[in-house]
Amino acid sequence: MDRIGSPGVALKARSAALERWTSDEIMTIVGSRSIRDGSSCFVGIGIPSTVVNLARATHAPNVTLIYESGPIGAKPQVLPLSIGDGELSATADAVVSIPEMFNYWLQGGNIDMGYLSAAQIDRLANLNSTVIGSRYADPMVRLPGAGGAPDVAAFCKAVTVIMRHQSRAFVRAVDFVTSVGFGPTDGYRESLGLTGRGPTMVITDLGILEPDPHHRELTLVAVHPGVTVDMVRDRTQWELRVADDIGETSPPTETELEAVRSLVHAGSAS
């Protein structure tokens, strides 16, 4: 089964390609395939920005990139270093104030998809980008913080989370809930009156997880070529649920690999 991607590729081609891509590259490519041409996307900096800009450079040239600093329809030629990167405003169709961005565009439910990453995620897709450690005032590590992520998670019509699959990141319970996925229990999100659907997909360098439609717990639905279910379980702190019909994502094509490498190279050279 192929959850996201082109039809199956010959085994010989797959074996050759397997030697050529990195785990970050396949995560970025599979993430980009989930983006629908013509959709509007609220984009975070880092991996999410690479993913969405790759989609714009390949199969989704009409995607509308929106950043929390105000650019709408940004078309960066290099990956932005921050939401304040001048490349975003200089290439945008329009730039609005931050209050308008949040009050009208985001909280008004006018953005199709949000793309987020985080330092921690738990089984109900709650995200932490604030602190590591049990004491907020005296944490082990203080992270960059929320930014616009809580509003993205709350009000975008749907959210995709993109992050590397490591045991320290896929935890039983996040140390701090920066952005609500589905809360501590099923039904919590609805009780808060959040209008967006919440996380619909978590894409990692190992595979794809989706919330179960009944209990919302993240379930492994596909792995990338060369990845086993046990590899994913070993890097997940909770007892991971696995779909009965677990699939495998299509390997990267030459076009996708060339595009992502060109994008990353341009960003590192700027």
How does pLDDT run across 47-78, given as a tens digit for each residue?
Answer: 889 999 999 999 999 999 999 999 999 999 88
Tokens of 53: 């800009």
Reply yes or no on whether the pLDDT at 263 is more than 70.
yes
Using DSSP, state whether 234 is helix, strand or coil. Answer: helix
* Phi–psi pair at 27, nearest 5 degrees: -60, -45
Residue-wise pLDDT for 77-103, tens only, equals: 889 988 889 999 999 999 999 999 999
Residue-wise pLDDT for 100-146, tens only, equals: 999 999 999 999 999 999 999 999 999 999 999 988 899 999 998 89
Its pTM stands at 0.87
Tokens of 227: 């990845």
Confidence of residue 255 (pLDDT cuts 50, 70, 90): very high
Q: Are 171 and 130 in contact (CB under 8 A)?
A: no
Region 191-207 average pLDDT: 94
Active site residues: 68
Class of residue 42 by CB neighbours under 10 A (exposed 0-12, middle 13-18, buried 19+)? buried
